[in-house]
Structure 1
Amino acid sequence: MSADLLMPFQFPFMQNAFLIGLIVAVPTALLSCFLVLKGWALMGDAVSHAILPGVVLAWITGIPLIVGAFAAGMGCALLTGFLAENSRVKRDTVMGVVFSGMFGLGIVLYTQVNTNQHLDHILFGNMLGVGGQDLWTAGAISVAVSAVLLLKWRDFLLHAFDPAQAQASGLPVRVLHYMLLAILSLTVVATLSATGLILAVALLIAPGAIAFLTVRRFGAMLAVAVAACAASLVAGTYASFWLDSAPAPTVVLILTALFVAALARRLILTRHASAHA
């Protein structure tokens, strides 16, 4: 029985799937805490969708896909900020229009180009087809993003809670703003081969939401988010082997179940506190 339980770890493609999951778990979980506190959930969704035309154009021009993806993500984020600051339309409305427009552009470009690239892999990820180059790319981005977030977490935290106070304290608010957008774009690029564009938003939001419902200190929130994200990626990949399902959607289902459990726990604790009061 123990040999059967360890069977998924014996295949090289499953080993790479577990490894890519652990690699992307740290930066996505750390970033999700800031996105949840700042209210940028829709921004993560927008950037993940907007990367598609950049990927297609990168393939057409022969440049690395990561370059096109990052350029498209940053372009979407900058365009959203410009339109929100120079129009009467609210930011969430602008993000909805921009990301849906860029996603539609990516679909149109893809259908007009003869390519052997699989759209399903771009949209939904291909954890079971991850190669050495994907691991090195995701690893390099993950180390860089995690290092910046951990070194500057106090500045990002103050900027998320109160940008006016951050500016009064002498922090470069505009630099922090665009740095966070760049980190968001890079993180989505790192998850491209793991969960794809559509499901990447789950890794960028769910771990932070789970941790927010579980603990009250930000340091503990970061630790819980990383643990929940890593555990979900490993468990989802493992379960997909036996269920004969795609790993990325299975990971998302586990993250959703953890969120529901954390929400139920928080509601029960709140009711008990109200009853005692």
Structure 2
Amino acid sequence: MQELLLPLQFPFIQNAMLIVSLIAPAAAMLSCLLVLKGWSLMGDATSHAVLPGVVLAYLAGIPLIIGAFLAGLVCALGTGFITANSRIKQDTVMGVLFSGMFGLGIVIYTKVETALHLDHILFGNMLGVGVTELWTAGLISGGVALILGVKWRDFLAHSFDPVQAKMIGLHVGLLHYGLLAILSATIVAMLSSVGIILSIAYLIAPGAIAFLLTRRFSAMMVVSIGVALLAGVTGIYASFWLDAAPAPTIVLILTGMFLAALALRRLGERRIKGLV
């Protein structure tokens, strides 16, 4: 028993599990809306787009989270504006913008001397988080979770039918750009732990898994949070014994959970067809 609890005795494992517990609820709740709204690529685009903001913030001597948030917000808002004012489809706009900003970040990073570790930016440094990162993730994630918990019905109405949402008196523009701002803030909260590239898994997989297992949105959010927490804690614990990086291990567990949920959904549908 003591051997099984061995990883929990190390402070870096404790901090890793704590930061996962802080970011999981907000990311999971947001993932439900992204899945239902069809904004999966938006999370991918925004997560990649923060790279130039991080590098420029480092060069300017300001907190990295400010640069990351502003870059992500520019990408998200720019995507929404171009989509609304052109004939180009949203997925095309996102593909162009996020690849362009990610390329810009790589070029700037390679042309300047910096103490930043690109691996930490891209893949996170979950085992190296400190008090500052914990407070940052906790405050941002707490604010995001509070907003989504209070306004989830409004965001849900906007996700399904923006026209109907406008007819019943909701501020559709505010909800649209507010959701983009929340997405950027959530990615910033995950920057120091999950990293840029792997944050997309936390923004999409929990909601996708919950979507396969539930029929009501309220239940979907609860299941999504449980999935995110379980995958995070289990991934960190397993990475200790596998001598692997925690973030990729978490993503692999989320992938396995998604495949299992998909198999259960298919099995349930076959049983229903058999009864009919």
Q: Same fold judged by TM-score > 0.5?
A: yes
Amino acid at match of 2:58: W
Residue by residue over 1:247-271, the C-alpha shift from the partner in whole angstroms, topping out at 9 and shown as x without a partner, is 0000000000000000000001111
Amino acid at match of 1:173: V
Shift in Å at residue 200 of structure 1?
0.2
Q: What is the deviation of 1:227?
A: 0.2
Residues 59-208 of structure 1: matches in 2 within 5 Å? Answer: 59-208=58-207
1:8-66, Cα deviation, whole Å (9 max, x unpaired): 11011111001011111000000000000000000000000000000000000001101
Q: Which residue of 2 aligns with 1:259?
A: 258
Deviations 1:218-258 (A, max 9, x none): 11101000000000000000000000000000000000000
Write the mapping of 1:191-230 to structure 2, written as runs, cut at 5 A: 191-230=190-229
Question: Number of aligned pairs?
Answer: 276
Q: Which stretch shifts more, 62-71 or 83-92? A: 83-92
Partner residue of 1:48? 47
Match in the other structure for 1:271: 270
What runs of 5+ residues in structure 2 fail to find an aligned partner?
A: none
Amino acid at match of 1:21: V
Query: Separation in 2 of the partners of 1:117 and 1:174?
Result: 37
Offset at 1:87? 2.0
Letter in 2 for 1:250: T
**In structure 2, what is the Cα distance between the partners aligned to 1:72 and 1:218?**
31
Within 1, Cα distance between the matches of 2:225 and 2:57?
32
Which letter maps to 2:201?
A
Residue type of the partner of 2:234?
A: A
Q: Distance in 2 between matches of 1:21 and 1:8?
A: 16
Shift of 1:86: 2.2
1:116 CA drift (Å): 1.1
Q: Percentage identity across aligned positions?
A: 64
Return the alpha-carbon distance in structure 2 between the equivalents of residues 256 and 34 of structure 1: 19
User: 1:46 is matched by which residue type in structure 2?
Assistant: A
What is the letter of the counterpart of residue 189 of structure 1? V
SS in 2 for 1:88: coil
Q: In the aligned structure 2, how far is the partner of 1:272 from the partner of 1:10?
A: 46
TM-score, normalization: structure 1?
0.99
Cα distance in 2, alignment partners of residues 12 and 60 from structure 1: 31
Quote the Cα distance in structure 1 between the aligned partners of 2:170 and 2:140: 25
Q: CA deviation at 1:274?
A: 1.1
